[in-house]
Structure 1
Amino acid sequence: MNRDLAHGTVVRLLPSTWRGEEGRALYGGSPIRMLFLRPAAVDLLGDGELVVDSPQSARLARLLLDRGLAEIAWAPPRLTDSDVTVVIPVKDRADALARLLRALPGLRVIVVDDGSADPVATKEVAARAGADLLRHEESRGPATARNTGLRAVRTELVAFVDSDVVPHEGWLDPLLVQLGDPAVGVVAPRIRALEHGAARGRVERYEAVRSSLDLGGAAATVVPGGKVPYVPSACLVGRTLVLGAGFDETMLVGEDVDLIWRTVQRGWLVRYVPEAQVAHEHRVAAAGWLGRKAFYGTSAAPLAMRHHDAVAPVVAGPLTLAVGLAMLVQRPWAFGVGAGVGAVVVAGTARKMRQSARPWAVAGRLVPYGLAASAQQCAAAMNRHWWPVMIPAAVMSRRVRRAWVAAALVEGLVDWSRTRPELDPLTYTALRRLDDLAYGAGLWWGALQHSTTAPLRPALVRPERPGRLRRGPERPAEGRDLRWPGTWRRGTGTHRR
């Protein structure tokens, strides 16, 4: 794989990357790490942006991009709209298909009719737009339909776009910019709710800020367990050669997550680019909404059987175990244990930060992040993944009941304050809990169907030891980094789905 950035490429730190100690310390990325730069690298980075114009700047840019601390701000134009073929899988949605095709002027398009009951309508819509049409006589599922289109693509890039999506104007350009990094194999835009202009119901207002498809406004490198652990196939763009044979056709749900994780495992970068935006027609009828959430939940079992700890509901490091113990036991000694574990983690982290001028101050600054991440993991697992177990536990134990109710309310209210939806706090929290109940029900049903407990088991990890970076193309000698055990890590790549 050629990972060399073109001369003149501009790389900038992500807004989510924290910078301290006069620019020497960088905190962020996926997974979250603390990176210490050497003085020469600090000078090259300047105010947070650098131009690739020398071997040194190229190595530093590669390091920052690979760690998920930066993104490409500009790259010499190489890929254009003519290098992209759009593949649209569709079944019995002729009107939606026509709406989508109107938003794709000038692009090469392949429509794959996956066994529509009225193939004539689909054929006429595709013909009016000048799109190529392929057809399955019987429905074989979206993964197979996308793969059928993928095999017909002759361009360097392929864009998968579902028929219920409407791209915003200029949606493709920011994605092509990130593909200016030759190490990037797949990019994906932000998927917002489609605006209808009419009064929106409660579920529609909830989905506008908490959709499983909308991964937020912060750009990120996509990795299992990261801030953005997956991107949905409703809209994504990839290098045709990187995607290879495409989606696993045996998977009826979660095939997009599986594809992204396999791409990452093969050494390619996947980037989430919220600057590029498309709209999606969310399901907002209560029954359809809950059914879709449960359907998403069934993906956890086959994903866990393929990708193991990437789907764990909780990554149980020392802080997470201590926070969970304090939440459930609610005894002074449990809080004392938690405080002791926190102190040990801070002390160990400070000792590892030999490059820091103020190791204890930096380590102490990380504590709130670790505690918040640990509490969020525990609360999410109780309400989303383990609620069938929590019911009998709450009946038998007043402390468990109190912890569960508090977790359900506090997590919902904190999320409401973060997203600021057009809903009052209690309504939003109630819908959030219904979302969790539906997803959890699907998760348990999928686990039973596959006879596995894999998506229900926590992943037990030990704190990482910070290793010295080896010189070479994969780990250039511009800095030293370490993974802090208390930092944020999502428990499962599909926990929002």
Structure 2
Amino acid sequence: MRHDRLPDGFGVRIDPRVRTYSGGRLLVGGTPTRLLRLAPEAAALIGDGYLEVTDPTSAKVARRLLDSGVANPRPRLLPALEDVTVIVPVHNNVPELNRLLSALRGHTVIVVDDGSDKPVRIPESGGSRRRVTVLRWDKRHGQAAARNFGLRAAATEFVAFLDPDVVPRTGWLEVMLGHFSDPKVALVAPRILAMDPDSTVLARYEHTRGSLHRGRRESAVQAHGPVPYVPSTALLVRRLALLGEGGFDESMPAGGDIDLCWRLDRAGWRLRYEPAARVAHSNPVSLRKWFTHKLTHGTGVAPLSQRHVGMAAPLSLPIWTAVTAVLFGTLTRWGAVGALLTLITTLFRLRRVFAGLDNPTRVAAIYMARGFSGGVWRLASSLCRHYWPVTLLGMLCSRRIRHIAVTLAVAEGLADWFIHRESGALDPTRYVACKRLDDIAYGAGLWWGAVRQRSASSLRPTLPPN
């Protein structure tokens, strides 16, 4: 039986994007946006936005805030580093493995040699050799099987998975370990950045917008949230939780990390993305390998859509947002009238939700505008990424669509650059070029995977009522 009470000393802080009303009794935020009502006694516990668990009542309030997505954890308790085993699956990548092991001095490490041409040998290096164990398969089984092999061989409470082409930064493990003082947390992932971001154009792009990069904001990991999954390149997990879910699915050549996240989430576990913990990843070596990796990533969506119905949809839009966008997209007077009527109807529906606030109409209008603009953004991104073959077909058939699509591709790319820009990042022109190549590769993989699976489920958008 799992005990889910948060321990005394555990803290939660209200997310800065959450808005509070009525003296803190009403909180609006999370993903999707929701209205959370608190009793006056519970609101009083939060104070200036921070709540520390001191008794069963505060533990219950803190849990509700975390599960509603309006607060982030601030753990104070830290499991011991000795309770972690680092598992490294490797196949013919000894130089990078040795580089990683040099950064893991003092840690207990299991290296799983997944059928390398020459058996992996750990060189003599003082005390580090005593804590590195090599397990070998003569035949290659794949990364998922190698991780599971190491998982079963480990004896500690927690297991960290690291690919050989990464190097963790100082403090990476301590920052993530604190999250496990919450007994419902099964998995925590760090922020993965380019090891040498200034080496090539692709490296500078991957540093801020790569497939392994999950952003700069801490977040819960949920299928339809801002961080829908985290890559298995670098993970810290609760060993028994992962064993209870069967570990990594060894039958999936791509998308196994997404499948694992969604299975753990469905089982009631909590997953966190912690950008304060950082791991560097080797830069892409060539345009061809980079493009192939993006394409392969896209092919994994089709089997995911069959295992997790509705969760792998390339686009999820509320019905009212989709209807409004389509009506405005007709570029006709009657289309504009219909779109405005849809927005007005939605405004009145939202006003009833926010009826307990001081100015429900104003608040409803603000969140309706945010919802619509966010929906249009997702639609534009999907037309450039997931549905670019459809967009291309439309461009070939219509000059108007061609002009709209080109404008959309440039505008969406520039907006994406503005949102994700960092010091020393790519200039807008090269960023947009990389973004469009990224989208073409991923989208091609998505459609090829659907053809190979003979199923359109991975291409079908979802239209929830709200």
Q: TM-score, normalised by structure 2?
A: 0.94
Alpha-carbon distance, 1:27 to partner:
2.8
Alignment of 1:67-82 (within 5 A): 67-77=68-78, 79-82=79-82
Determine helix, strand or coil for the equivalent of 2:273: strand
Alpha-carbon distance, 1:264 to partner:
0.2
Distance 1:418 1:54 in 2: 41
**Paired positions, count:** 460
Determine helix, strand or coil for the equivalent of 2:61: helix
Structure 2: runs of 5 or more not aligned? none
Alignment of 1:412-451 (within 5 A): 412-420=413-421, 422-451=425-454
Conserved? CA contact 1:72–1:177, under 8 Å:
no
1:300 is matched by which residue type in structure 2?
Answer: V
Alignment of 1:87-486 (within 5 A): 87-121=87-121, 128=129, 130-195=131-196, 199-244=198-243, 245-326=246-327, 328-420=329-421, 422-463=425-466
Conserved? CA contact 1:299–1:443, under 8 Å:
yes
Distance 1:132 1:121 in 2: 10
Q: 1:341 to 1:99 in 2, by over 3 A?
A: same
Conserved? CA contact 1:123–1:133, under 8 Å:
no
1:221 is matched by which residue type in structure 2?
Answer: A
Alpha-carbon distance, 1:124 to partner:
7.1
Question: RMSD across aligned C-alpha pairs, in angstroms?
Answer: 1.9
Conserved? CA contact 2:113–2:120, under 8 Å:
no
Alpha-carbon distance, 1:227 to partner:
0.6
Distance 1:285 1:235 in 2: 22
Determine helix, strand or coil for the equivalent of 1:88: strand
Q: 1:172 to 1:182 in 2, by over 3 A?
A: same
Determine helix, strand or coil for the equivalent of 2:113: strand
Alpha-carbon distance, 1:127 to partner:
7.8
Determine helix, strand or coil for the equivalent of 1:308: coil
Distance 2:361 2:50 in 1: 28
Determine helix, strand or coil for the equivalent of 2:310: helix
User: Which residue matches 1:478?
Assistant: none
Conserved? CA contact 1:109–1:131, under 8 Å:
yes
Determine helix, strand or coil for the equivalent of 2:36: strand
1:100 is matched by which residue type in structure 2?
Answer: L
Alpha-carbon distance, 1:54 to partner:
2.5
Conserved? CA contact 1:253–1:298, under 8 Å:
yes
Distance 2:446 2:122 in 1: 35
Distance 2:310 2:416 in 1: 25
Distance 2:65 2:440 in 1: 39
Determine helix, strand or coil for the equivalent of 1:293: helix
Distance 2:165 2:331 in 1: 48
1:382 is matched by which residue type in structure 2?
Answer: L
Q: List per-residue Cα deviations over 1:213-260 (Å, max 9, x = no partner).
A: 111111111110111000110111111111012000000111010001
1:171 is matched by which residue type in structure 2?
Answer: W
1:215 is matched by which residue type in structure 2?
Answer: R
Conserved? CA contact 1:112–1:148, under 8 Å:
yes
Conserved? CA contact 1:328–1:399, under 8 Å:
no
Determine helix, strand or coil for the equivalent of 2:279: strand
Q: 1:123 to 1:298 in 2, by over 3 A?
A: farther
Alpha-carbon distance, 1:185 to partner:
1.1
Conserved? CA contact 2:196–2:203, under 8 Å:
no
Distance 2:361 2:200 in 1: 50
Alpha-carbon distance, 1:380 to partner:
1.7
Structure 1: runs of 5 or more not aligned? 464-497
Q: List per-residue Cα deviations over 1:315-351 (Å, max 9, x = no partner).
A: 1322431343146422232233222222211210111
2:396 is matched by which residue type in structure 1?
Answer: V
Conserved? CA contact 1:112–1:134, under 8 Å:
yes
1:446 is matched by which residue type in structure 2?
Answer: G
Distance 2:310 2:28 in 1: 24
2:325 is matched by which residue type in structure 1?
Answer: G
| Superposition misfits of 4+ residues, deviation over 6 angstroms | 123-127
Percent pairwise identity: 41
Conserved? CA contact 1:29–1:221, under 8 Å:
no
Q: TM-score, normalised by structure 1?
A: 0.88
Distance 2:114 2:193 in 1: 25
Conserved? CA contact 2:328–2:339, under 8 Å:
no
Alpha-carbon distance, 1:176 to partner:
1.3
Conserved? CA contact 1:231–1:260, under 8 Å:
yes
Conserved? CA contact 1:87–1:112, under 8 Å:
yes
Conserved? CA contact 2:193–2:280, under 8 Å:
yes
Alpha-carbon distance, 1:400 to partner:
2.6
Distance 1:394 1:129 in 2: 63
Distance 2:123 2:89 in 1: 13
User: Which residue matches 1:482?
Assistant: none
